[in-house]
Amino acid sequence: MASSSVLFTDTSPSSAARLLHLRHRHAVVPFVRPLRVGPTQFPTPLRFSLHTSPSRPPLVPLASLTTEASAKVIDGKSVAKQIRVEVTAEVSRMKEAIGVTPGLAVILVGDRKDSATYVRNKKKACDSVGIISLEANLPEDSTEQEVLNYISSFNDDPSVHGILVQLPLPKHMNEQNILNAVRIEKDVDGFHPLNIGRLAMRGREPLFVPCTPKGCIELLHRYGVPIKGKRAVVIGRSNIVGMPAALLLQREDATVSIVHSRTNNPEEITRQADIIISAVGQPNMIRGNWIKPGAVIIDVGINPVEDSNDPRGYRLVGDVCYEEASKVASAVTPVPGGVGPMTIAMLLQNTLISAKRIHNFE
Amino acid sequence: MASSSVLFTDTSPSSAARLLHLRHRHAVVPFVRPLRVGPTQFPTPLRFSLHTSPSRPPLVPLASLTTEASAKVIDGKSVAKQIRVEVTAEVSRMKEAIGVTPGLAVILVGDRKDSATYVRNKKKACDSVGIISLEANLPEDSTEQEVLNYISSFNDDPSVHGILVQLPLPKHMNEQNILNAVRIEKDVDGFHPLNIGRLAMRGREPLFVPCTPKGCIELLHRYGVPIKGKRAVVIGRSNIVGMPAALLLQREDATVSIVHSRTNNPEEITRQADIIISAVGQPNMIRGNWIKPGAVIIDVGINPVEDSNDPRGYRLVGDVCYEEASKVASAVTPVPGGVGPMTIAMLLQNTLISAKRIHNFE
C-alpha cells in the first residue's frame, strides 16, 4: 500500500478566517452557477440511494471522465435565504409576544479592510431579519483591557444576546483571553471549549453550535440526505470547521473518519465516504477519483485562483474539483453559493436562539 | 456491499462503571495470562512494521487459523507498576522539596459492594505511592445537597488536589449537577466538558486527560508504537473511553475513525486499522478476521463470560477474541492485565499532576 504523495495543509484558524473574509468580501459578486433547484425556495429532498446509484458512471480515470454532470446542486444561497425568512418571522413573533428584539454585538479592533467588510455584511444581515446590531470599533493600538471592558459591558447588557469578536485581533492581544471573556450564554460563535466539550459528549447539549459546520449539517438536513449509519469523511480538522463538523456528524450517528495533513492515502479513505465535508483551503484538491459514485459533497473551501478571464484577475473555487465531482457525486455544493451563505444565516439563527433562551420564549 | 448483521451496544457510562467495578473487584484474582515481556519492568519498544509484517499469516477464515500465536503481549500490569514507581519517586521528591503531599478525596454514597471495593482499591493504590487519600462515606438516603456540601468542602481544602465521586450515585440524585460541582482544577477524572472541549481543540490543553483512554495511549507510547499518520479505529464512543480515546489519537496525528453501534460493516473499517482501541463491553466481538495483519490492539473491554471450569463460574474476557487476535495482530493487550491496571495508575498520575500544578512545582 504505497503512500500518496498528495500533501495539503489544514485550515488554520487564521487562514480559515481569511477564507471567511474572502467569502464575505465577495458575497455580493453575482458569480453563482446555474442552479437546478426548482422555483420553490425550500429545496425538495434528494431522492437517491447513497450506497448504490446505477445511473452514476463507474470510477474511471480522470482523463476519460466525459460523462455529463449529473450531481444535484446543493443550493446554499437558496437555503440561507429560506432560513433568513424563518428567522425574520420568529424575530417578529418574539417582538410582538414579549416586546424583545434579539441583539448582536460585534467588536472590531483595528482597520483591516477585510474584517470591516465582514462586519458590515453581518450588520446588513442582522438588519435584513430585524435583529438589532451593535458595533464597537476600537483603534488598532487599543489595549487588551479596553477590549475586555467592551466585552464586559456587552456581557452585562440585557439588550445584547450574542457577542462576536472579529478575528484576527492585533498581534499584541491574547486572543484566547479575549474570547474566553465572552459569557458562554452569549457565545453565538460556539467556539468556547465548554460548548465544544458538550458537543463531543453524548447526553450533553451545547448552548451554540459553531456556524459554519452547523450550516453544513443544515444543508444535508434540508436536502433530505440520510446521515445515520452512513460513512462520513471530514477533510481538515480545524477548531472552527473540521473538528466540530466531525462531532456533529457523529451526534447524528454517522461513522466518521477525519482526514488531515498527516493522513496517508487521503483519497483512499475519502473514496469510502457517503458524505464528504471538506474544509482544508486547497483549491481543487479533491478530484473525481477521490469520490465514491453517489456520494454527497459539502465543500467549505473558498480559494482564490488566478484567472485572467475574470475582471478581478482571479476566481473562487472550492477544495473539491467541481467539474469532476459533479460527474461522480449525487449532490455537491457549489463555490461560491454553497456553504458560504449558510455561515451568516446560522449566526442569525444562533442569535435568535440565544435571545429566546435568555427570555425563556418558545 | 452488504451490511453486516453484527450488532453491538456502546459502553454506556453505567455499564462501563459496572465493568470498572468488576475489574477492580477482581483485581486481586491471580488470573493473568503468561506474559512475554522480559524481566525488566520497563518494556522494550516493539520492533515491527505496522504496515507490512511478512511473518504474520495472511487473512484466512477463522476455522483455518491454526498458526501459533505470534503477537507481542502488551503488559499493562507491568507498565502500571512502573508508573507507580515513577509516581512514588515524584511524590517523595515533592514532599522533600516543598513539604506538600498530594491528596485525593473520594466520595462514596450508599453501600454498593462493588463501589466500596473500587474505592478501597483506589485508597490502597494511593497508600502504595504515598498519596494521601480521604474518604467521605455517605448513607444511601443522603440528599443531593449533603453530597454537594462535601464537594464544596473538598474544593476549598488545600490538602485535597483531586476529587472523585464514585459512580453510580443513588437514583434520586442528579449526577450531572454533582459532577459539575467539582472544581475543574481538581477534576482528576477529566470528565468535565471544559476538559473534553480542550482535548478536542487544537492549541488548547486539557487540565486532565480521562484515566482509561490516557492509559491506552500510555501503553502505545511505552511500547514504542508509532501513532502519527497511522490509521486508528476506536470501537465504541462512550464519554469516558471511546470518545476521549479518539480525540487523544487525533491529537497525536493518527487518522481516526470511530465505529459504533450504528456502523454498517464495522469489521470492514476495523480491518483498515493499524491501531485498534476497543471499548464496547461485548465479549469476543472483534474476531481475527476484523484485524489487519500486524495491527496493534488495545482492548478496554472486561466482560464476564460463563465458565464452569473456573471456581467462580465465570472468567473475564475482552471485546477482542484474544486467541484469534494473537495470531494476526503484532501486539495485543490481555484481559485482565492489559488496560485494567492502567486506569488506577493514571488516576495516581493525574492526582500528582494536579498537586504539582496547584503548588507550581516542576
DSSP-based three-state secondary structure for A296: strand
CA nearest to A205 within chain B: B193
Q: Where are the domains of chain A?
A: 30-78+210-344
Give chain B positions within 8 Å (CB) of A205: none
Instruction: Give the mean model confidence (pLDDT) for residues B84-109.
Output: 98
pLDDT at B69: 72
**A41 labelled catalytic:** no
Q: Minimal CA–CA distance to B184: which of A148, A194, A155?
A: A194
Are B201 and A198 in contact (CB < 8 Å)? no
Instruction: Give the mean model confidence (pLDDT) for residues B69-85.
Output: 96
Question: Is residue B20 over pLDDT 80?
Answer: no
Question: Is residue B14 over pLDDT 50?
Answer: no
pLDDT at A67: 57
How far apart are the CA of A235 and the nearest CA of chain B, in angstroms?
Answer: 11
Q: To the nearest whole percent, how much of chain B has pLDDT over 70? A: 81
Question: Is residue B81 over pLDDT 60?
Answer: yes
E-strand spans in chain A?
72-73, 103-109, 132-138, 162-165, 231-235, 255-259, 275-278, 296-299, 303-306, 314-317, 331-332
Residues of chain A with pLDDT below 50 are 1-66
Question: Which one of the listed residues B122, B186, B214, B356 is annotated catalytic?
Answer: B122
d(CA B222, CA A43): 54
Give chain B positions within 8 Å (CB) of A239: 201-203
Question: Is residue B54 over pLDDT 70?
Answer: no
Give chain A positions within 8 Å (CB) of B235: none
Question: Which one of the listed residues A72, A77, A122, A327 is annotated catalytic?
Answer: A122
In this structure, how many other beta carbons lie within 10 angstroms of the beta carbon of residue A51?
A: 15
Q: Minimal CA–CA distance to A164: which of A358, A362, A346, A8?
A: A346
Residues in Cβ contact with B272 at an 8 Å cutoff, skipping those fewer than 6 apart = B231, B233, B257, B292
How far apart are the CA of B78 and the nearest CA of chain A, in angstroms?
Answer: 32
At the fourth CATH level, the homologous superfamily of domain A30-78+210-344 is: NAD(P)-binding Rossmann-like Domain (3.40.50.720)
Are B200 and A269 in contact (CB < 8 Å)? no
The grid cell for A17 is 478566517
The CATH number of B13-79+210-344, from 3.20.190.10, 3.40.50.720, 3.40.50.1820, 1.10.287.3510, is 3.40.50.720
d(CA B162, CA A134): 44
Measured CA angle at A93 (ends A87, A94), to 5 deg: 90
DSSP-based three-state secondary structure for A86: helix
pLDDT at B43: 46
Are B193 and A203 in contact (CB < 8 Å)? no
The β-bridge partners of A258 are A234
Q: Give me the residue from B194, B195, B250 closest to A237, CB to CB.
A: B250
Give chain A positions within 8 Å (CB) of B238: 202
In this structure, how many other beta carbons lie within 10 angstroms of the beta carbon of residue A315?
A: 18
Measured in whole angstroms, the distance separating CA A31 from the mean position of its chain's CA atoms is: 19
Q: Quote the ipTM score.
A: 0.82
pLDDT at B13: 38
Place of cell 470599533: A137
d(CA B136, CA B108): 6
In this structure, how many other beta carbons lie within 10 angstroms of the beta carbon of residue A228?
A: 9
**What one-character-per-residue DSSP string does A126-183 give?**
HHHHT-EEEEEEE-TT--HHHHHHHHHHHHH-TT--EEEEPSSPPTTS-HHHHHHHS-
Letter for the amino acid at B310? Answer: D
Assign B176 a pLDDT band (cuts: 50, 70, 90): confident
Q: At B142, give phi and psi (nearest 5°).
A: -65, 160
* Helix, strand, coil percentages, rounded to 5, for chain A: 40, 15, 45
Assign B67 a pLDDT band (cuts: 50, 70, 90): low
CA nearest to A192 within chain B: B197
pLDDT at A176: 87
- B221-255 tens-digit pLDDT: 999 999 999 999 999 999 999 999 999 999 999 99
How far apart are the CA of B164 and the nearest CA of chain A, in angstroms?
Answer: 19
Question: Which one of the listed residues A187, A189, A274, A319 is annotated catalytic?
Answer: A189
Assign B300 a pLDDT band (cuts: 50, 70, 90): very high
Q: Minimal CA–CA distance to A280: which of A315, A244, A234, A316?
A: A234
Which residue, among B202, B253, B274, would best test binding to A if mutated, counting the most A CBs under 10 Å from its CB? B202
d(CA B267, CA B264): 9
Average pLDDT over all residues of chain B: 86
